[in-house]
């Protein structure tokens, strides 16, 4: 029988392809992550993770183990929830950045409510900065937001790249300001866009102000301009346009869970574990 702790570490490494990011996600040290992987490889009798000085990848056996690990951990979580979930009660004020609704988060929340029917889950969907301020003021217990990489607050769920996106038929005159679809300041995606353009010496203008992610997507589909989204959140009918229009690199973004230490409760820990145990992509 494989140790669930080792399997959770392996899944974190497999999903982030980084020992450093896996350590941040699980709240463990990097040497502990390496030790867990070695122990699991010994137990399996196979090399699971391929490492060199530049990259981490999975072997063929590692890819097979990833499927088994997710199945085993899901079964364990279901068993634990069956015997303990119904007894857990309380109020959980949870905030999520609006574009994270494009991930598997809605399914995770649905399963969470089924497993813990006695928890009163109150959901707030807004921009990351607004949610973080509400958390700090005591109005929320847990938030799932986007932050600049390396931010020392919260637990890393995954890291992604920010990219320029637009409609496949979009054309931009390189002699004119870049037309931007943007949230109001100080939204993170707006900051990424304007900062990168100004550093590259490109002019810009806001062609569409939006308040939520559906507005971003609708405006991009209409060809009103270019937008900034995390790479994993790009709808299939939109496309990255950085290379086509010579737009500058935007950098990476962290998806993080931040809890309010003054209101930490069992429901907070339960939802945190549910999000960390499943790939949010």
Percent of the chain whose pLDDT exceeds 70? 96
Stated pTM of the model:
0.70
Domain presence at residue 281: no
Q: Give, as one character, the DSSP assignment of residue 87.
A: G
Number of domains, the chain? 3
**Token couple for 5:** 């702790």
Domain presence at residue 147: yes
Residue-range definition of the domain harbouring residue 110: 88-153+254-276
Q: What is the rounded CA–CA span in Å between residue 13 and residue 11? A: 5
Q: What is the rounded CA–CA span in Å between residue 66 and residue 208? A: 42
CATH label of the domain that carries residue 37: 1.10.10.10
Highest average pLDDT, of 67-76, 84-93, 248-257, comes from 248-257
CATH label of the domain that carries residue 191: 3.40.190.10
**Token couple for 252:** 């990476």
Q: What is the mean pLDDT of the chain?
A: 89
Domain presence at residue 67: yes
Q: Is the dihedral of CA 91, 96, 98, 104 positive or negative?
A: negative
Residues 105-139: tens digit of each pLDDT: 888 898 888 888 888 999 999 999 999 999 999 99
């Amino acid at each position: 029988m494989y140790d669930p702790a080792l399997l959770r570490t392996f899944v974190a490494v497999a999903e982030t392809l980084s020992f450093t990011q896996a350590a941040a996600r699980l709240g463990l040290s990097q040497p502990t992550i390496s030790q867990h992987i070695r122990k699991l490889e010994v137990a399996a009798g196979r090399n699971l993770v391929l490492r060199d000085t530049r990259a981490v990848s999975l072997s063929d056996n590692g890819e097979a183990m990833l499927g088994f690990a997710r199945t085993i951990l899901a079964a364990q979580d279901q068993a634990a929830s069956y015997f303990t979930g119904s007894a857990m009660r309380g109020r959980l004020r949870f905030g999520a950045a609006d574009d994270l609704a494009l991930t598997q988060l809605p399914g995770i929340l649905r399963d969470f409510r089924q497993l813990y029917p006695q928890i009163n889950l109150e959901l707030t969907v807004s921009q990351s900065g607004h949610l973080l301020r509400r958390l700090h003021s005591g109005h929320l217990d847990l938030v799932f937001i986007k932050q600049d990489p390396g931010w020392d607050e919260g637990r890393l769920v995954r890291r992604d790249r920010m990219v320029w996106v637009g409609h496949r038929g979009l054309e931009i005159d390189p002699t004119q300001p870049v037309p931007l679809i943007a949230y109001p300041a100080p939204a993170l995606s707006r900051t990424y866009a304007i900062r990168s353009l100004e550093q590259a010496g490109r002019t810009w203008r806001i062609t569409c102000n939006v308040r939520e992610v559906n507005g971003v997507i609708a405006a991009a589909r209409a060809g009103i301009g270019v937008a900034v989204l995390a790479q994993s959140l790009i709808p299939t009918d939109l496309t990255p346009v950085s290379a086509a229009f010579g737009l500058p690199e935007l950098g990476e973004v962290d998806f993080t869970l931040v809890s309010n230490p003054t209101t930490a409760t069992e429901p907070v820990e339960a939802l945190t574990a549910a999000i960390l145990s499943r790939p949010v992509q």
